[in-house]
Homo-oligomer: A and B are copies of this chain.
Amino acid sequence: MKIEAVDFFYLSMPVVRDIGDGSQDALLVRVTSDTGLVGWGECEAAPLASIAAWCCPMSHSACKPVSASVLGQRVDSAADIRRITALVRGNSLDLLQADHTLSGIDIALWDLLGKKEAAPVYALLGVKKAFPKTAYASQLFGDDPAETFAKGERATAAGIKAAKFGWGPYGRGTVEQDAEQVRAARAGLGPDGILLIDAGTVFGDDVAAAAARLPALQEAGVVWFEEPFVSGAIASYARLAAMGGSVKMAGGEGCHDPHQGINMIDHAGLGFVQIDTGRIGGITSAKVVADHAVKKNVRFVNHTFTTHLALSASLQPYAGVESDWICEYPFEPAALAAEFTTSRLEPDAEGRIHVPERPGLGVEPDTRALAKYLVDVEIKVAGKVLFRTASL
């Protein structure tokens, strides 16, 4: 097949609120081949900037728009997709946003190839058997402990075995206020629920501030403490990890190329490396990190707060690793994300998510439902239209 067209659809809730809910907009990517077959993918966050990285004029030989390395390429095998990734990375070396743009395209290419081969993506990656993952309900902290408690109860009532609470007020008040939030989460979830806490990078690289939260986390039996620091703050992660005891460090969602994920595995003392296929460069790049995590005995886990298209994509890179046992599961998505696909990946009776066995990603965007969220974009440079939203 030859890549004939790549279209980007900026989708947004009518009102985007100033909260840590990344499911309020989306950038859907459609790759159309010359055979008429279509693959779908998604880039995480900031749709307009990722569109600009697709269509911008060339700055120099290593700063080309992503389109220069994608349009017209042949996609007949997994090796072709890896070759396109390498092309984008070389030709768009100095275009920072390119990695996010590539992510959605790469996901769509795997979906496309899977449909052509009538095989799920994980099989194209060389994986014989996909293992189900224990879903954790990914949620924001409540504004107060009572709301957090109610959210914990709701997750347990839904048959979910694990829950994560993050962002919101956590790390913005006192150590004791944070401890109350964590205790409320544990109480709501019940004694047997797997409890995860996400600081949403609130401590920057301040080890002392993060360390002050550890006793409450240890007491509540928290499995991981996620993103106390920004992705690159490796030295801070390593120092906190040494004090963590039963609480493991989790991080890595900000990584936008495999090297960054590998560096966090090698030097940050992580128990869990969290990779977003919508940011790291797609399934191709996430698989590189997943393979490295196996070698270094660090648990790989997806990062996905949004749609079930993104969810399926995020599961493929580590579907074959039985010991990578847990997955993030969007639990309170905005309507846009909830309506995104025509089918959903529902937890089984044990609260586990199964990677679809259908061709490609095994989920399709619900283009009819999404039409109402479509935002028109037009970009003109030197009087020439470089991008205009296509019809969905």
Which residues does A use to contact B, with CB under 8 Å? 10, 12, 16-22, 24-25, 44-49, 51-53, 55-63, 86, 89-90, 93-97, 99-100, 167, 200-201, 204-205, 230-235, 254, 256-257, 259-260, 262-263, 266-267, 279, 375-383, 386
Whether B53 pairs with A97 at a CB distance below 8 angstroms is yes
Given contacts A96-B100, A97-B97, A382-B375, contact A57 B61 (CB under 8 A): no
Q: When chains A and B are docked, how far (Å) is the Cα of A60 from the Cα of B89?
A: 27
Find chain B residues with CB under 8 A from A60 CB: 16-22, 24-25, 45
Given contacts A233-B259, A266-B235, contact A56 B61 (CB under 8 A): no
Best-surrounded residue of A22, A48, A97, A375 (most CB of chain B within 10 A)? A48
Whether B200 pairs with A58 at a CB distance below 8 angstroms is no
Best-surrounded residue of A12, A230, A232 (most CB of chain B within 10 A)? A232
Q: Dominant SS at the A interface? A: loop
Among the listed B47, B61, B259, which residue makes an inter-chain contact with A230, where contact means beta carbons less than 8 Å apart? B259
User: Nearest-CB distance from A171 to chain B (Å)?
Assistant: 12
Given contacts A93-B230, A96-B100, A263-B267, contact A63 B45 (CB under 8 A): yes
Find chain B residues with CB under 8 A from A230 CB: 89, 93, 257, 259
Find chain B residues with CB under 8 A from A167 CB: 61
Whether A22 pairs with B59 at a CB distance below 8 angstroms is yes
Whether A96 pairs with B256 at a CB distance below 8 angstroms is yes
Given contacts A49-B97, A263-B263, A376-B382, contact A25 B234 (CB under 8 A): no
- Residue of B at shortest CB range from A94? B45
User: Nearest-CB distance from A191 to chain B (Å)?
Assistant: 32
Q: When chains A and B are docked, how far (Å) is the Cα of A163 from the Cα of B257?
A: 32
User: Nearest-CB distance from A338 to chain B (Å)?
Assistant: 16
Whether A95 pairs with B49 at a CB distance below 8 angstroms is yes
Q: When chains A and B are docked, how far (Å) is the Cα of A378 from the Cα of B384?
A: 10
A-B interface, 10 closest residue pairs, ranked by CB to CB distance from nearest? A232-B259, A52-B52, A48-B56, A97-B97, A45-B94, A46-B95, A378-B380, A49-B52, A45-B63, A49-B97
Find chain B residues with CB under 8 A from A262 CB: 235
User: Nearest-CB distance from A132 to chain B (Å)?
Assistant: 29
